[in-house]
Structure 1
Amino acid sequence: MPISSKRAVFLTLGLVSAAALASAQDRPESLLPPGFGDPAPSPTPAPAGSLPPPSVARPDPPGAVVQPLPVDTPSPTPSPTPSPVDPAIAAQYEMPGYARRSLDLIGPAGMREGGVDAAAFATANGRFAEQLMRRLSAPLPSRWMSILLRRTLAARLVKPEAVNGADFAAERAWLLLRMGESAPARAVVQGVDTANYTPKLYQVAMNAMLATGDAAGLCPLAAGGAAVTREGGWMVAQAMCAGLEGQSAEATAAMRVVRRRRLGEDIDRKLAEKVIGAGANSRRAVTIEWGGVDRLTVWRFGLANATGVAIPDEMLDGVGPQARLWLAQSPMLPLAERLPLAERAAAQGVFSNVALVDLYGSVADDDSAPNAASAVANDLRTAYTAGDAGGRLAALRQIWGSEPRTRYDRLVLTARAAARLPVAAESEDGDRLVASMLSAGLDRSAARWRSAVTAGGDAWAMILLADPDAQSSISYDDMAVYGGSGGDSRRKQQMLFAGLAGLGRMSAEDAERAAQALDVRIGAQNSWTRAMDRAVERDQPGMVVLLAAIGMQTGDWRGVPPQALYRIISALRAVGFDGEARMIAAEAIART
């Protein structure tokens, strides 16, 4: 069943016990999942080795993630057997055993990344995990779900069973690229020794290097990629790398072969020649013209980015949002062009609050920056440094603007400035202040404002969900006072209930009452919920994160059903991601 913003994940077929059926004539059927409110979840174990088919994601729009340079059709003629290599000579070039990295533990981090344990996938079915990664449609609507998924995929992980470690790294990096996380994707593929590369990893590695504009990153892989995959793109990469190494004669000869074989189109070859021209001993001057180019491929994106060639907006408009997220991370891009992309990346979770503040710090020191960006940078400085709280709050209001709905990226930008404000006795800006702090995970800073916000408003609801020290349960009557601070009040009530129930903050009786009143069937089951239950029971946090992301494949928060939000929060909390669960629940209020 496709998961999209136009079709709900759940189709309301709740499973109830025989006892519930027997009493159905006296009261409505229970909408809660089995075992709700029990100390530990008790899903029905599945037979060993049985896994449900994953939910099928909606396909990416055409051009969402484009492939590298088109390649020639491999010749059916077998390659000649190479001459034997003298073992003594080969030993001079082989990496010593102590320096080789195992395929059983792959990842760029030397320690746990964001609290993700190395064994997150260790007991999972690796083929099922790869299938989920391949089918997952990204980017996701939730900043915090995206952050958790990135931390999971980019962690140093033990290889699950039934898969090749290099191929598993390739699937992780490919999903990271589709999420817009180009730098972590490159780090994952670089975590594998080149001697262990597979055809799949070669393909993904080329995409990762190009997405980061790292043409030189292709050089350690070019010879192996050409030999293993026989793709034309690697032959062009060999020519570029010869040029970057100052071997202009070899680069010229290699490009002559590329032109004779007509690898790629004219724009592809010219961009490669421009990369060669950046090397030592090169006198090439290549002018890039985009007229007549029908589409932007990752090859064109990467080499243009590497050489500082501006990509026309109309070319970027024809690809998926991932390309703009990649571009936001490019230091080659002029600051004025990079800022709006960085703000989008911050809302998506690709940029942190600190990274975005640092970027605006560069604007403050740049006399050529656009006036609008300079004004925001000056207001941000005032929000941190003004001598009185009133002046700092006024600066925050300038950054947020006067629109009824504040842009989420601006809330991310102001998170730490908002956290520095003293708690006011009463504040009309409580909703934005709390949402801003929670966008960066500053939960205790936000909780300080509990007494200053209006009961029943968005800030009140977000603090209820995000407070790390909360102990007491929330009754139905307490929850029912929530009406939201704008927008669809019933939808907000449903999301608050889903969050509280998922965090275990409601009794079974109050949760049943709320589920009936709000028509949120959190007990409904399908293949996705059953897979999630099994992953929780088997303590497979990596699979829980993947399945949680599967449940959020939609364009924005309006497409996330409250039933799915409940399942996601409950499962994440059960496998140790309590903080992320609370942040996702609060984000649902801020962005609904």
Structure 2
Amino acid sequence: MAALLLAGVGVPALGQDTPESLLPPGFDDPAPTPAPAPAPGATSAPARPIEQPLPVDPGALPLDNTLGNFAAQADAQAAAVDLSRYELPEFARRSLDRVGIVAAGNAPFPADSFGHADGRFLRTLMRRMDAPIASRWVSIALRRALMSPLDTPANANGADFAADRAWALLRMGEANAARAVIEDVDTDNYTTWLYQVAMQSALASGDPAALCPIADKGAEAIAQRGWALAQAMCLGLAGKPNEAGKQFERARSGTSPSDIDNLLAEKVLGTGAQGRRAVTIEWNPVSQLTAWRWGLATATGVEVPAELYQTAAPQVRYWQALAPNIDPVARATAAELAATAGVFSNAGLVDLYSEIEQGGDSGAAQTVARDLRTAYTDGDVGTRIKALETLWDAATTPRTRYARLILTARAASWIPARDKVEETDRLIASMLSSGYDAAALEWRGVAPRGSEGWALLALADPGRSGVAAGDVTGFADGASRRKAQMLLAGLAGLNRMSAGDAQSAAAALDVQIGGVNGWTQAIDAAGQRGDAATVALLAGVGMQSPTWDYVAPEALFHIVAAMRAAGMVNYARMIAVEAVTRAA
């Protein structure tokens, strides 16, 4: 089965295409009780960017012995020091048998959540998964799983397995989460693969100083220009401009003086004490934004042109949203996109727009901030609803429309349920986009049967009230057929329909919930075993699509059913709700 599944990891969803909690208060409380990788090297041609840091000729890095006998004497004195006195005792060292951290506000997955899955199988899934994925709520569940302190599976080195988890998180846009996982491994245990991912993590965080504890050992393990430049940058940041300058000249040997990757490294180097380097960055000749360029530019306050973001993968925009040293106005659009991918929370968006409002600048972001304040604080309910409508109607694409639902979720939860409100469907969708299910369920007596609001509440209701086949097929008359298919898949996966009703509705809507392939067998079996982390990872594999347009309702059924079986019913409900909300 593993071989059959891995052969299809790269295809779209069932193809037949310190981190904050993203959950509202009380969500998933208590914790559930379960029943391409970076290339090792790149060309050393000076015209190529440092995507993975470029290799350097070891002969271009001669040892610096200009201090002569004094240096030799210092080395002899250093050799006499008993370094063992400065090493961590055994009891203080972190084991590779279990790696991960607990995010604030989130209970971790159980340590044995991968069950008895083979480490090689799990690593292949993580490396081949095409991230970011379609679902906000699957992303949240997968982030939480990959961050948690989990037992290292059989046939996997603990450091390499941590690197694979961090690499998947980076591709999902979760720069902070990835860094936290990496930093839970002692540097003495780093492997070549973990060094590579650690550099990517430092760049995604816009923090080249994070490389300094590992720069020398990284350069020994990986003969690439990026690591040689990292050594130079760290010497500069340590206030050693002369040594930094010499190392920088060696590192950039054989490359063009105008090489953008070298210039950005030199700019970092010059920010240290007594750096005395003035470097001007010209973006005009640059046609591709890489992690190296984004990370060092962000660290030094150099603005990346908006058009260059179009040349990078989507996760770079999510890194931008998380970067605290970028102007809030410049982060606003990226933050809304990041929220749809599960990287940014409702509270994070509200805080960002509050900061924008306090800044006092004019512009579109300031207008959004003022409307948002009205939606949250105005004393008149009608005025608050009108402000919500203004925010929703300003969105022009499916992603931004969903982002605005997330932005307004808590404000929507403060609107009292009553019959005369015309925006019932969007109010319910907004609340549920961020998990405010208790507030949304107050609208059960208000949302008309057969409306989208009714469908969302039928999925969100934690009770076991059944839904008949006629209600599901009837929903298709007022909504799109695809929304009805997603409703059926969600209800069937949550076990809210009898077997006969589910089969009848599936036949009427042409949803082949009984279809079987390697992926369905794997996720169904993991759910039955209660392997929550394996289910979350396989759910991510099943959501390999940039949008919901290519996520099959059959895939949704198996994801929701497996999560329910593995004890993650709250996530299962929210994923099903999201599917109906975002279906065209």
TM-score range, shorter chain: 0.7 to 0.9
Query: What's the counterpart of residue 532 of structure 2?
Result: 541
116-125 vs 522-531, which deviates more? 116-125
Distance 1:203 1:4 in 2: 23
User: Partner residue of 2:260?
Assistant: 267
Q: Name the residue aligned to 2:52.
A: 68
Map 1:241-252 to 2 at 5 A. 241-252=234-245
Partner of 1:105: 98
In structure 1, how many angstroms separate the alpha carbons of the residues matched to 2:323 and 2:416?
37
- 1:298-327 deviation per Cα after TM superposition (whole angstroms, max 9, x unaligned): 111111010011112232211111111111
Q: Deviations over 1:444-501 (max 9, x none)?
A: 1111111111211111000000112x22221212323313765xx2111111110000
1:293 is displaced (CA, Å) by 2.5
Q: Distance in 2 between matches of 1:194 and 1:389?
A: 56
Contact kept in structure 2, 1:535 and 1:541, CA below 8 Å: yes
- Distance in 2 (alpha carbons) for counterparts of 1:269 and 1:276: 10
Does the residue aligned with 1:342 lie in a helix, a strand or coil?
Answer: helix
**1: CA distance between counterparts of 2:444 and 2:50?**
47
Tell me what 1:384 maps to: 376
In 2, Cα distance between the equivalents of 1:66 and 1:417?
44
Shift of 1:264: 10
Cα distance between partner residues in 1 of 2:257 and 2:173: 25
Find out whether 1:560 has 2:566 as its counterpart.
Answer: no
Q: 1:115 to 1:91 in 2, by over 3 A?
A: closer
| Equivalent residue for 2:385, pick from 385, 389, 393 | 393
Residue equivalent to 1:199: 192
- 1:585 aligned residue: 576
Matches within 5 A, 1:417-566: 417-468=411-462, 470-483=463-476, 486=479, 489-566=480-557
- Distance in 1 separating the partners of 2:194 and 2:264: 24
Pair 1:253-2:242 in alignment:
no
Structure 1: any 5+ residue segments left out of the alignment?
12-41, 43-55, 58-64
**Shift in Å at residue 212 of structure 1?**
0.8
Q: 2:282 aligns with which of 268, 271, 289?
A: 289
Measure the CA separation in 2 of the matches of 1:140 and 1:149. Answer: 10
- Residue 561 of structure 2 is matched in structure 1 by 570
- In structure 1, the partner of 2:228 is 235
Identity %, equivalent residues: 48
1:526-545 CA distances to partner (integer Å, 9 max, x unpaired)? 11111123322333211111
Pairing of 1:55-94 with structure 2 (within 5 A): 67-72=51-56, 89-94=82-87
Matches of 1:495 and 1:377 in 2, distance apart? Answer: 34
Q: Distance in 2 between matches of 1:476 and 1:420?
A: 33
Moved more, 382-391 or 187-196: 382-391
SS of the counterpart of 2:113? coil
Contact 1:5 1:558 in 2 (8 A): no
| TM-score, length-scaled by structure 2 | 0.86
Counterpart of 1:139 in structure 2 is: 132
Contact 2:108/2:148 (CA < 8 Å) preserved in 1? no
Give the Cα separation in 1 of the matches to 2:99 and 2:12.
37
- Structure 1: distance between partners of 2:148 and 2:51: 25
- In 2, Cα distance between the equivalents of 1:148 and 1:493? 25
**Which residue number in structure 1 is paired with residue 119 of structure 2?**
126
Deviations 1:405-446 (A, max 9, x none): 771111000000000111112432011101100111111111
Aligned partners of 1:538, 1:72: CA distance in 2, in Å? Answer: 49
1:10, 1:524 within 8 Å by CA — same for their partners in 2?
no
3-state SS of 1:481 partner: helix
Q: 1:9 aligns with which of 1, 7, 15?
A: 15
Is the CA contact (8 Å cut-off) linking 1:179 and 1:322 kept in structure 2?
A: yes
State the partner residue of 1:165: 158
Q: 1:297-376 residue pairs with structure 2 within 5 A? A: 297-368=290-361, 370-376=362-368
Q: Distance in 2 between matches of 1:311 and 1:226?
A: 28
- Offset at 1:294? 3.6
CA RMSD of aligned residues (A): 2.8
Counterparts of 2:489 and 2:322 in 1: how far apart (Å)? 35
Aligned partner of residue 260 in structure 1, secondary structure: coil
Contact 1:383/1:396 (<8 A) preserved: yes
Match of 1:51 in 2: none
Measured against aligned partners, the alpha-carbon deviations of 1:171-217 in whole angstroms (never above 9, x if no partner) come to 01111111111111111111110000000000000000001101110
Contact kept? 1:68, 1:233, Cα under 8 Å:
yes
CA shift at 1:402, angstroms?
A: 6.3
Q: Give me the whole-angstrom Cα distance separating, in 2, the residues matched to 1:161 and 1:263.
A: 47
After superposition, what is the alpha-carbon deviation per residue over 1:42-65, rounded to whole angstroms, capped at 9, x for unaligned?
A: 9xxxxxxxxxxxxx99xxxxxxx9
CA distance in 2, matches of 1:465, 1:407: 21
Could you tell me which residue of structure 2 aligns to residue 408 of structure 1? Answer: 402
- What's 2:28 paired with? none
Shift of 1:343: 0.9
- Other structure's SS at 1:315 match: helix
Corresponding residue SS for 1:445: helix
Q: Does the 8 Å contact 1:243/1:277 carry over to 2?
A: yes
Q: What is the rounded CA distance, in whole Å, between the counterparts of 1:251 and 1:426 in structure 2?
A: 69
Asked if the contact 1:225/1:231 (under 8 Å) is kept, the reply is no
- Taking the aligned partners of 1:298 and 1:381, their CA distance within structure 2 comes to 35
Alpha-carbon shift at residue 334 of structure 1 (Å):
1.8
Displacement after TM superposition at 1:7 (Å): 8.3
How many residues are aligned here?
A: 534
CA distance in 1, matches of 2:359, 2:146: 36
The answer on whether the counterparts of 1:122 and 1:159 sit within 8 Å (CA) in structure 2 is no
1:143-154 maps to which residues of 2 (within 5 A)?
143-154=136-147
> What is the deviation of 1:378?
1.3
CA distance in 2, matches of 1:170, 1:351: 23
Residues 217 and 491 of structure 1, relative CA distance in 2, 3 Å threshold = same
Shift in CA distance, 342/413, structure 1 to aligned 2, threshold 3 Å: same
